[in-house]
Structure 1
Amino acid sequence: MNHTPFALPRLTAMIKQAVPRLLEGVVAPLAVFYAALAILGLDGALVAAVSWVYLGLLWRLIRRRPVPGTMVLAAIAITVRAALGLWSGSAVVYFIQPELGTICISMAFLASVRLRRPLVQKLTLDYIHLPSFVLRHERVRRFFARITLLWAFVLLTNSTVSIWLLLHQSIGTYLLVRTTAVAVISGLAFLGSAWAFRRVLKRLHAEAPAITS
């Protein structure tokens, strides 16, 4: 039995898709918050951060572009974070909330491996279509389990470093060092994951006669 050929999108194409989202969703909000913090103080910075997210939603609605569900959830989350930050008067309260959430996500990644339903596989299939015969291959199943473990520890490391910086350094230092550290750690993990994924697929292509017969 023959199967439809499949191909993984080029790494450069995936990076081109990811960079604008990274700039809009991570870099720009931090830059807006830090600039507003220096000029307007904590309360002004919290309001500016929330305003940035809602302006992004409004911009998409005006241009009649689809609004991702993740962006709506992000708007709700940042509203709650800002409200707690304003209520407490503490930037630490504002920034520590997503870090605690990330720790919970890392635990979910670990649990998904134990349950033999690695979350990285589900997340990958949201962007890349893989035939069912590929997903059933033992080599692919091992790959997704290992990569899910990798990202569980990446998320846990990012959160640990971020919380330490938040509790022991100034907000300015936290924003600068944390953003750089998370970008480097996550970037290396992403490149390693993409390289390993391509390597697995190349091996499957080499075994294609055995797989597709």
Structure 2
Amino acid sequence: MERPATEPAGPSEGTAPPAPTPPAEGERHKDHHFELPRVTALLLHALPRFLEGVVAPVAVFYAALVLLGLNGALVAAVAWVYGGIAWRYFRGHGVSGMLMLAAVGVTVRAGLAAATHSAVIYFLQPTLGTLMVSMSFLASVPLGRPLAKKLARDMAPIPEAFLRHARVHQFFLRISLLWSMVLFTNVLISLWMLFNESLGMYLWVRTGLVAGLGAVGVGVSVWGFKRCVRHVNAEPGPA
């Protein structure tokens, strides 16, 4: 019986299906290929958060300390954090769990400082927390589970195949060690200035030093990561 003209003709019996199209050059190693976002975009994203989370709280605390005394400064610090939460909530931006934990931490710190009438207690607590984070970065290196890799995975959509690459793993081991040193230096500077300098000197000079130290750490990390990405992307993929 003759096949209708409207019916598409299928392959004849015994005919092999067409061979799959080979992958284009440069696509064979997509499994570990990764494109780093522009550094300027990352900086523009981070700058408002740095001003809001680092510079502004210091300015609010110091201004209230001069005008209202220690208890007034503690109240102002707590009000700044909860005011930021309320502002986000009413604008419909949502409040992250990390911000809520920070608010609880500031409340506890302010309560202990008010109970002891000591500003040293208020600033000593986060310094001890920084010490614990530094030790966590350091401990993750000999365990072969670099904390920097976990943080990178949580903060950016990096492909798992890229993170499993041996060169990338070695990079995150070195960066974890770097940030352990950066944070430990932060602790040493903070403790020395907290117990040897005035509170005003501690607030402004220590903040500037720590911010500069952190900027160096970020710069080295970004430069090293870009270099690592370039080397990994240049490697030929599996045949």
The equivalent residue for 1:70 is 98
Residue 194 of structure 2 is aligned to residue 163 of structure 1:
no
Q: What CA distance in whole angstroms lies between the structure 2 residues aligned with 1:52 and 1:132?
A: 39
Q: What CA distance in whole angstroms lies between the structure 1 residues aligned with 2:85 and 2:161?
A: 39
Contact 1:112 1:118 in 2 (8 A): yes
Q: What CA distance in whole angstroms lies between the structure 1 residues aligned with 2:165 and 2:146?
A: 14
Q: Which string of whole-angstrom CA distances, capped at 9 and with x for unpartnered residues, describes residues 52-111 of structure 1? A: 000000001111112111110100000000000000000000001000010011111111
User: Which entry has the higher C-alpha Rg, 1 or 2?
Assistant: 2
Q: What CA distance in whole angstroms lies between the structure 1 residues aligned with 2:234 and 2:78?
A: 50
AA aligned opposite 1:158: N
Q: Which among 218, 223, 229 is matched to residue 195 of structure 1?
A: 223
Deviation at 1:2, TM superposition (A): 4.6
Between stretches 177-186 and 128-137, larger displacement belongs to 128-137
TM-score between both structures, scaled by the size of structure 2: 0.86
The equivalent residue for 1:119 is 147
Contact 1:118 1:145 in 2 (8 A): yes
Greater helix fraction, Structure 1 or Structure 2: 1
Contact 1:8 1:128 in 2 (8 A): no
Contact 2:34 2:162 in 1 (8 A): no
The equivalent residue for 1:31 is 59
Q: What CA distance in whole angstroms lies between the structure 2 residues aligned with 1:157 and 1:92?
A: 19
Matches within 5 A, 1:1-213: 2-3=29-30, 5-207=33-235, 209-210=236-237, 212-213=238-239
Name the SS for the 1:7 alignment partner.
Answer: coil
Q: Which string of whole-angstrom CA distances, capped at 9 and with x for unpartnered residues, describes residues 183-212 of structure 1? A: 1100011011000000000011111x23x5
Q: What CA distance in whole angstroms lies between the structure 1 residues aligned with 2:67 and 2:159?
A: 53
Unaligned 5+ runs, structure 2: 1-27
Between stretches 162-171 and 133-142, larger displacement belongs to 133-142
AA aligned opposite 1:165: M
Q: What CA distance in whole angstroms lies between the structure 1 residues aligned with 2:29 and 2:162?
A: 13
Between stretches 118-127 and 169-178, larger displacement belongs to 118-127
Equivalenced residue count is 211
- Higher RCO (CA-CA < 8 Å; seq separation 6+): 2
AA aligned opposite 2:157: H
TM-score between both structures, scaled by the size of structure 1: 0.96
Q: Which string of whole-angstrom CA distances, capped at 9 and with x for unpartnered residues, describes residues 27-53 of structure 1? A: 111100000000000000000000000
Q: What CA distance in whole angstroms lies between the structure 2 residues aligned with 1:7 and 1:142?
A: 19
Unaligned 5+ runs, structure 1: none
Superposition CA RMSD, Å: 1.2
What percentage of aligned pairs have identical amino acids?
A: 52
